[in-house]
Amino acid sequence: MTKARTRRERKAQRAAVEVPALGPVGMLRWAWRQLTKMSTALVLLLLLAIAAVPGSLFPQRVQDPDAVADYIKANPVMGPWLDRVQLFDVFSSYWFSAIYLLLFISLVGCVIPRAFQHFKAWRSKPPRTPRRISRLPQYRKVMLGGREGAAAPTPDDAVEAAAAALKKRGYRVQVQDLGTGAPSVAAERGMLKEVGNILFHVALLGVLISVAAGSLFGYKGQKVIVEGESFVNTLVDYDSFNPGTNFNADWLNPFSISLKSFEATFNRDTSDPEHYGQPTDFNADLTVTDAPGATPQDVHLAVNKPLNVGGTKVYLVGNGYAPVIRVKDGDGHVAYEGPVVTVPSDSVYTSSLTLKVPDARPDQLGFVGLLLPTAVSQDGSIPKSVDPGLNNPALILSSYSGDLGLDSGQPQNVYVLDTKGLKELNAMSSSNGPVLLDGQHRKVDLPDGKGSIEFLDVKRYVGLDVHSDPGRIPAFVSFLVAFAGLVMSLFIARRRAWVRATETEDANGVRCTVLEYGLLARGEDHRLGAEAEKLTALWTSLWEDRGVREFHLKPSDKA
């Protein structure tokens, strides 16, 4: 251990001295050699691990851009600095990318030459038998023949039989020096170990490339669908859409989806108050039309079971209530009628509602407030929702009339009502109180003859995420290859074995054949001794009737 370190240090010193003497080409070559060293790979791996850690300590834009904005707002001094060194975009930062790119360049520079080398080794024969087998890490010697006067096999026969037996054990063999009096066989097994190692590393590169392809050519979109409505996979129909860097909208797969019904199941175990009312299951019944004109098919969508429509995946990511509302304006015309998507804000689905009615005349109307799925009101106070199920749905709304500000052409958030140009008609704080609608009170007239609002029904809606990632399947296949390669590389043993036979006489003067054999491992192999024992066992069963004896070694032979 200490020796190894001093050697390393000496080497480092030598390299440092050599640098100034190198020309630009020499410098490059030197840098390449440093980069493709195993110790560099190791250090880069450790650096990669360390560099990933801040990605878990600071909010990340890939995860949650709002959390990043909040963090910067809460830390006005440090925040911008952290942002400047890309601590909110760790995994796309220059420094993180630099580490993994260097690592993969190093990998290519390391593995490709090894692959060539191995290809050559595969095609060449097992190496010649060394002159002194006894120097190998595992060395044994047995004597054949002499049992009840049985004759020993000739050295040539012994070597041929040993070669056949080794071949059966999965070794590739090469018989050498037949007829010379000291014939031998060279054998090697476990060539697949290195193949596995190379496959593993190359496939990791495959995973990286696949992931990159996914982020270039894929897309992600969100869409909310209310029961009874449908969605066509086109750019205009999305609520929000994030294309990959090189995405082309022509690639959108022209399917359509409509939501027949949605059902949420909640925990109704009264003996477990802590978890009572938690959702236990979400299920959506859809019809999917693969392409315009195709027959619609009924499908079932659940949280962990996405749809796969020709490679585009559709996930169930959200759900909630959409009360159906009819609004009549001051002129008595129906200005709005339909479901309004609400946003649940707690575990009992207290949901916030925003409704803008730009078609109302003479004044535009706007509503904000809450939907309570199971409204309970205690002694005349403001009702609250006590359960996520739809047992006593109620709406509590503030109403406004005036100019919604939609004509300015500026895009507005549908979930926020800008009250700048509006006059408050009803509100919690105003003297006439909020608009209250439930099963008994279905309709309320707005003050000043501005119109009326009617609560017709409650539907459910689902939030869908639509993803297309062309890198998904290649990444998965690359992973499978990497995994197989890893297992091969770790659990196949690469060994070489040599067996040599010579003639001798035993103590009683009987002619015997001495079988010497040795084993050498490439890399880690703690079973080499066991393999040597196995070979001894192999010879024993081959020549048991002729006699197999251990040939005792002098202690000095063992080393």
Partner 1 sequence: MGSDINVTLGNWSEWFMLLAAMTYMVVFVAFVWDMASHSKTLGLNEQAREKRRTEAEANSRQLVGAGAAASSVAHGAAGSSGAVSRGADDAVAAEFRTSAENSTKGVGEFEALNYKRGSRRPAARVAVTLMVIAFALHVFAVVSRGVAADRVPWANMYEFCSTGAMVVAGVYLVTLIFKDLRFVGPMVSGLVLIMLCLATIVFRTPVSPLQPALQSYWLIIHVSIAVAASGIFTITFAMAVLQLLQARREKRLAAGETSRMGFLRAVPSSVTLENFAFRLNSVGFVFWTFTLAAGAIWADQAWGRFWGWDTKEVWTFVVWTVYAAYMHARVTRGWNGNRSAWLSIAGYMCVVFNFTVVNTLFPGLHSYSGL
85-124: which residues touch partner 1 (CB under 8 A)? 90-91
Return the SS3 of 490.
helix
- The reply on whether position 315 binds partner 1 by CB under 8 A is yes
Residue found by looking up tokens 């008595």 in the block: 332
Give min distance, CB of 483 to partner 1, in A: 6
Using CA atoms, how far apart are residues 280 and 264, in angstroms rounded to an integer?
Answer: 8
Which option in partner 1, ligand HEM, none does residue 107 bind, with CB closer than 5 to 8 A by kind? ligand HEM
Residues 358-417 that bind partner 1 (CB under 8 A): none
Residue 371, token pair as written in the block: 């939907």
Residue 127, token pair as written in the block: 């190496």
Give min distance, CB of 105 to ligand HEM, in A: 8
Of 193-201, 210-218, 328-336, 398-406, which segment contacts ligand HEM by CB under 6 A? 193-201
Residues 36-65 that bind partner 1 (CB under 8 A): 38-39, 41-42, 45-46, 48-49, 52-53, 55-56, 60, 62-63
Task: Answer whether the bond into residue 362 is a cis peptide, omega within 30°.
Answer: yes
Residues 6+ apart with CB under 8 A from 445: 451, 452
Of 38-46, 86-94, 210-218, 245-253, which segment contacts ligand HEM by CB under 6 A? 38-46
- The reply on whether position 223 binds ligand HEM by CB under 6 A is no
Of 22-30, 280-288, 333-341, 438-446, which segment contacts partner 1 by CB under 8 A? 280-288
- The reply on whether position 201 binds ligand HEM by CB under 6 A is yes
Which option in partner 1, ligand HEM, none does residue 306 bind, with CB closer than 5 to 8 A by kind? partner 1
Residue 296, token pair as written in the block: 């619609």
Closest CB to partner 1 among 163 and 316? Answer: 316
Using CA atoms, how far apart are residues 195 and 314, in angstroms rounded to an integer?
Answer: 39
Using CA atoms, how far apart are residues 378 and 381, in angstroms rounded to an integer?
Answer: 6
Q: Which residue of 18, 269, 445, 505 would you call a contact of partner 1, by CB under 8 A? A: 269
- The reply on whether position 267 binds partner 1 by CB under 8 A is yes
Cα distances (angstroms) measured from residue 463 to each of 204, 242, 322, 370:
35, 16, 12, 19
Q: Which residue of 51, 107, 368, 397 would you call a contact of ligand HEM, by CB under 6 A? A: 107
Q: Is 312:233 a contact under the CB 8 Å cutoff?
A: yes
Closest CB to partner 1 among 259 and 395? Answer: 259
Cα distances (angstroms) measured from residue 200 to each of 84, 207, 444, 482, 486:
36, 11, 69, 4, 6
Which option in partner 1, ligand HEM, none does residue 294 bind, with CB closer than 5 to 8 A by kind? none
| C-alpha closest to that of 216 among 474, 473, 468 | 468
Residue 471, token pair as written in the block: 């890198």
Residues 1-40 that bind partner 1 (CB under 8 A): 1, 4-5, 7-8, 38-39
Residues 317-336 that bind partner 1 (CB under 8 A): 317
62 C-beta neighbours (distance < 10 Å), count = 12
Residue 307, token pair as written in the block: 């749809």
Closest CB to partner 1 among 317 and 376? Answer: 317
Q: Please classify residue 452 by burial: count the beta carbons closer than 10 Å to its beta carbon, then call 0-12 exposed, 13-18 middle and 19+ buried.
A: middle
- The reply on whether position 475 binds ligand HEM by CB under 6 A is no
Give min distance, CB of 477 to partner 1, in A: 12
- The reply on whether position 526 binds ligand HEM by CB under 6 A is no
> Which position's Cβ is nearest ligand HEM?
110
Paired strand residues for 518: 139, 498
For 439, half-sphere exposure in the C-beta direction (CA atoms, 13 angstrom radius) is 9
**Which element (helix H / strand E) includes 49?**
helix 38-52
Q: Which residue of 38, 74, 77, 559 would you call a contact of ligand HEM, by CB under 6 A? A: 38
Q: Which residue of 294, 480, 490, 537 would you call a contact of ligand HEM, by CB under 6 A? A: 490
Residues 521-540 that bind partner 1 (CB under 8 A): 523-524, 526-534, 536-537, 540
Using CA atoms, how far apart are residues 485 and 111, in angstroms rounded to an integer?
Answer: 13
Distance of CA 315 to the CA centre of its chain: 17
Q: Which residue of 19, 27, 249, 487 would you call a contact of partner 1, by CB under 8 A? A: 487
- The reply on whether position 523 binds ligand HEM by CB under 6 A is yes
- The reply on whether position 200 binds ligand HEM by CB under 6 A is yes
Q: Which residue of 33, 125, 260, 275 would you call a contact of partner 1, by CB under 8 A? A: 275
Return the SS3 of 45.
helix
Give min distance, CB of 492 to ligand HEM, in A: 10
Q: Is 426:434 a contact under the CB 8 Å cutoff?
A: yes
Q: Is 313:305 a contact under the CB 8 Å cutoff?
A: no
Per-residue binder mask for ligand HEM (CB under 6 A), 341-380, x = binder: ----------------------------------------
Using CA atoms, how far apart are residues 473 and 469, in angstroms rounded to an integer?
Answer: 8
118 C-beta neighbours (distance < 10 Å), count = 17
Q: Which residue of 72, 121, 486, 510 would you call a contact of ligand HEM, by CB under 6 A? A: 486
Binding site for ligand HEM (CB under 6 A): 36, 38, 41, 45, 103, 106-107, 110, 197, 200-201, 204, 486, 489-490, 523
